[in-house]
Amino acid sequence: MDRHLPAPTGEAGLQGQRELWAGEGRVSRPRWAWAQDEQGCQPRVLWAQCHLALPRQGLKTGSFFYPGGNVTYQGTAVTLSRKEGILHNYKDEKEWRANIDTVMRWFTEEDLALVTLYFGEPDSTGHRYGPESPERKEMVRQVDRTVGYLRDSIERNSLTSSLDLIVTSDHGMTTVNKTASDLVEFHKFPNFTFQDIEFELLDYGPNGMLIPKEGRLEKVYGVLKDAHPRLHVYKKEQFPKSFHYADHPRIAPLVMYSDPGYVIHGVSSCWVHHSPAGGSLRARRAPCLASPQCGHSPFSVH
């Protein structure tokens, strides 16, 4: 959710599935509350910039299965929206095409200016079977066919010259090394104790952040910086600039990532088979493809 919600508007400051509210010393609700809360919560301004601004300009917006698209933001809702059920089957290729047909009608018949359209694949298959599995590779082919159908639909509806198409995702994926003898386990590090920590974002994959208690930053950093060869710990201001990550005010004083194939275990060792990619910039980068028309729009694509 921390990647889905800011995607339509760019940098937003969402740093994890749970958030420490800066200056208030409290933790936000978990990610599933964001999509179910009809009143919206912390991300309401961040994700909904477009959906708030465009109606005020007399333009209409829509959301089709996009995370967070079914709720009301500061009293404003999208013009048209569709929300999937909890047990929705994301794999149905025929449904994907029907959803695209609906979105095309929203543009041509309902005169919408912006629509966010979500497909739950190849994410679900990748998490279940692994990014290198035959099942995931077949799902990528299905996604490719669907993107082709989407582009053809844009042309059939005479929208090629007027519609900006951006295709992106929330993360890359890599297989977790479950049998390694050198797991990254904070609760086993010598001289490290969570009693020195005010707030932690660990156990969520290959990335993590820590806020040490007042006066303990240097102590915690000294313990962790060489605690494990697969773990890379930085003070916020020293985090590699190539990640384009640590400059935001909501980033904690200590930022870390693990090598590809390793997850960060905090208070316990909890297993996931596949996770968003770790320290490799190539592996962790989410794809973002834009149609040529986007080059004439007043924003840049990174």
The pLDDT > 90 percentage for the chain reads 45
Cα separations in angstroms, 109 against 53, 78, 105, 163:
22, 16, 5, 14
| 141 and 196 co-located in one domain | no
Report, as an integer, the average pLDDT of 19-33. Answer: 46
- Alpha carbons 250 and 201: distance in angstroms, whole number: 12
| 270 and 290 co-located in one domain | no
Q: pLDDT tens digits for 123-179?
A: 999 989 999 999 999 999 999 999 999 999 999 999 999 999 999 887 888 888 877
| 150 and 273 co-located in one domain | no
Q: What is the pLDDT of residue 100?
A: 98
Q: pLDDT tens digits for 245-293?
A: 888 887 899 999 999 989 999 877 665 555 454 444 445 555 556 655 5
pLDDT band at 53 (very low <50, low <70, confident <90, very high): low
- Is the Cβ–Cβ distance between 106 and 112 less than 8 Å? yes
Q: What is the pLDDT of residue 51?
A: 57
| 133 and 258 co-located in one domain | no
| 235 and 220 co-located in one domain | yes
Give the DSSP per-residue string, 126-166: HHHH-TTSHHHHHHHHHHHHHHHHHHHHHHHTT-TTT---E
- Alpha carbons 173 and 122: distance in angstroms, whole number: 10
Q: Find tokens 């930053």 and name the residue.
A: 217
Report which DSSP code applies to 73: B
**Total of domains in the chain:** 2
In a domain, 302, yes or no: no
| 25 and 142 co-located in one domain | yes
| 244 and 130 co-located in one domain | no
Instruction: Tell me: cis bond preceding 260? Omega within 30 of 0 counts.
Output: no
| 94 and 190 co-located in one domain | no
Degrees to nearest 5, angle at CA 221 with 276 and 239? 50
Quick one: CA torsion of 33, 136, 151, 298, rounded to 10 degrees? 50
In a domain, 203, yes or no: yes
- pLDDT(188) > 80: yes
User: Residue 53: how many CA atoms within 13 Å on its side-chain side?
Assistant: 9
| 164 and 192 co-located in one domain | no
Strand pairing report for 231-235 and 254-258: antiparallel
Comparing 76 with 98, the larger pLDDT belongs to 98
Both tokens of 208, joined, read 């993590």
Q: What is the pLDDT of residue 9?
A: 52
Q: pLDDT tens digits for 216-229?
A: 999 999 999 999 99
Q: What is the pLDDT of residue 292?
A: 55
Could you list the residue range(s) of the whole structural domain that residue 271 is in? 184-281
- Which of 169, 164, 174, 198 lies closest to 297, judged by CA? 164
Q: What is the CA radius of gyration of the chain?
A: 21
| 46 and 79 co-located in one domain | yes
Q: Find tokens 């992106």 and name the residue.
A: 168
Q: What is the pLDDT of residue 52?
A: 58
CA 251 centroid distance within chain: 16
- Alpha carbons 70 and 34: distance in angstroms, whole number: 10
Both tokens of 187, joined, read 């609760």
- pLDDT(210) > 80: yes
| 136 and 208 co-located in one domain | no
Look at residue 43 and give its three-state secondary structure: coil
- Is the Cβ–Cβ distance between 101 and 65 less than 8 Å? no
Q: What is the pLDDT of residue 237?
A: 96
